[in-house]
Amino acid sequence: MTITLPLTPDLERRLQQAAEQEGLSADALAVWLLERHLPPAERQADLVQLLQSWIDDAAVAEQHETREYFSCVLDEDRPSQRKLFPSELKGVDMVRPNLLRFLLMASLAIPYGSVAEMSATATERVTQVELQRAIESAHTALWGKFIGPEGLIHDYVGELPTAEECALGKPNAIGWWSPIENGPMFTGTYLAAICQRARRSGAAADRDKARRLAQGLLACASVSNVPGFIARGMGTDGKCHYPMGSQDQTHPWFYGLHAYATSGIPAADKRKLVIDKMKEVADALEAADWKCPCDGPFQGQSRGDFKMFRHHGAAMYLFILRAMHDVTGDCVWLERYQRAKHERSEKTGKTRLEICAEGYPHDRQQIKNIDHAVLWIYVSSQGGLARLADWETDEKAREQYRAGLAVNARGALAVIDAYKTFDNSDTKVFGHARWREAYPAWFPQKTQADAERLAATGDRNILGERKRYEASRMRNPLAAAALVALAGYRDGFESVRRAICHYDYVQLNMAEFFFAECAYYALSVEQTVTGQASFEE
């Protein structure tokens, strides 16, 4: 059957934009949206038959009672102050055709999403145009300022450390507060989003960007002769690096390269190189009992243990094992995964699977102030948890992964509104670009504790307050948005869209606003355009 639908210019433009993002024709996307939202054929037929029998029946009093019941249920479940059926409408005739129209409207509205999603008024919802403009602004700002020539995200715009400074440990041997503090952590997490962007757009430029990021990650695993070492980033010569990585750098490295290897972007020979490097690192970590090795003067030590029984670590460790089976097909990785998810903590007696189900609240005793300050370290593990839920064939285990995703999403949603406190016209000083001046009290570091102590010696008069401001009011809310989106937690989707649209990305000093793209591309096309739906109330 062919149907001709008259579209306004605005609606036609929005449909075309969404189709281009998904890599579909406008016709194909329109059919997909109809299939997604229309009631199933059996349900529709049953509903029509039932309603017609009521219309044919003269039991007017019973129809009034049915109407009152539906009105009450819908209004009681509605978080908005505005009722669909206010008291002044009581007594209005809703029988026969009117009742049919009422019930059809109610039944057809349900598939569009949760009650919380439908509660926002048209003026409160973010439009697709606004959302797309914000994402492109973030994307342009990130690639224009923060992506280095080596293909890694720099923490901020500033001078890179020299080979001498990396060797001496300036500003500290961990690399904290330098522009190359979190290269694989940020880049790996972001690469998964860029692969999704490339899939939706089909643009060669987006595929090239994914390749560039993947090359940066591969370099992080190639600049040291220590097996399994993942450098935080490279200094001025493209090779020099700080001697300590961590599991927070290593897991996103796997997360991003897995997304790339399975994206269809790399040619077969390039894909093999990626998988071979992943296997090389994973084999080294297995030999090191999953402790992240150090380099240089700290060689023989480790920083970070994937086998630690935290929610953070459990999700990371299980993801890497299962992802390695996914890309290699080697059953040994699947066997290790099955064994690891049922291993128990000697301290709590809980399995990794049970810890995954508890969400990040499990970590609160060990990691302070997670909700308001540290959600950013959970974004890649939330993505890994979502993949574990997708892969899992055991229904009970899948439900435990999904439970953890939901716990994390609810916690994130409770703090996401901190974005509203960010003032885009704020003029606080961001002095971290002057990191050499801000950390003058250098001393030789013989232990990791020495490095941590040195990292705490910054001059606040130089550093200023802007980094703290962006961390609490931009980084954490956008990380929260990513946690909600990665969980598929529909009650938070409108908050995710609003958070993404709040910032003037050109004015930001810290690269962590890439979490906006992580959140956006974790939403399906349907979820990104939900803000366009117009429900007359």
262-294 pLDDT tens trace? 999 999 999 999 999 999 999 999 999 999 999
Using an 8 Å Cβ cutoff, are 401 and 357 in contact? yes
At 467 the pLDDT is: 97
d(CA 99, CA 97): 5
What parts of the chain have a pLDDT lower than 50?
42-43, 54, 58, 60-61, 66, 69-70, 73-84, 88-97, 99-100, 102-123, 530-537
- H helix runs in 368-447, sequence order: 379-391, 395-415, 435-438
At 437 the pLDDT is: 97
- The DSSP call for residue 231 is -
At 7 the pLDDT is: 77
Nearest partner of 443 among 170, 167, 245, judged by Cα: 170
At 306 the pLDDT is: 98
pLDDT single digits (tens) 506-533: 999 999 999 999 999 999 775 565 443 3
Cβ-based neighbour number of residue 487 at 10 Å: 26
H or E segment and range at residue 450: helix 448-455
At 118 the pLDDT is: 44
Using an 8 Å Cβ cutoff, are 478 and 492 in contact? no
| Residue spans of beta strands (DSSP E) within 384-495 | none
Q: Which residues contact 86 (CB under 8 A, 6 or more apart)?
A: none
At 80 the pLDDT is: 42
The three-state secondary structure class of 62 is: helix
d(CA 3, CA 82): 36
At 524 the pLDDT is: 77
By percentage, how much of the chain surpasses pLDDT 70? 77
The 8 Å CB, 24+ separation contacts for 19-24 are 20/201, 21/200, 21/201, 21/525, 21/528, 22/200, 22/525, 23/199, 23/200, 23/201, 23/202
For the chain, what is the radius of gyration of the CA atoms? 26
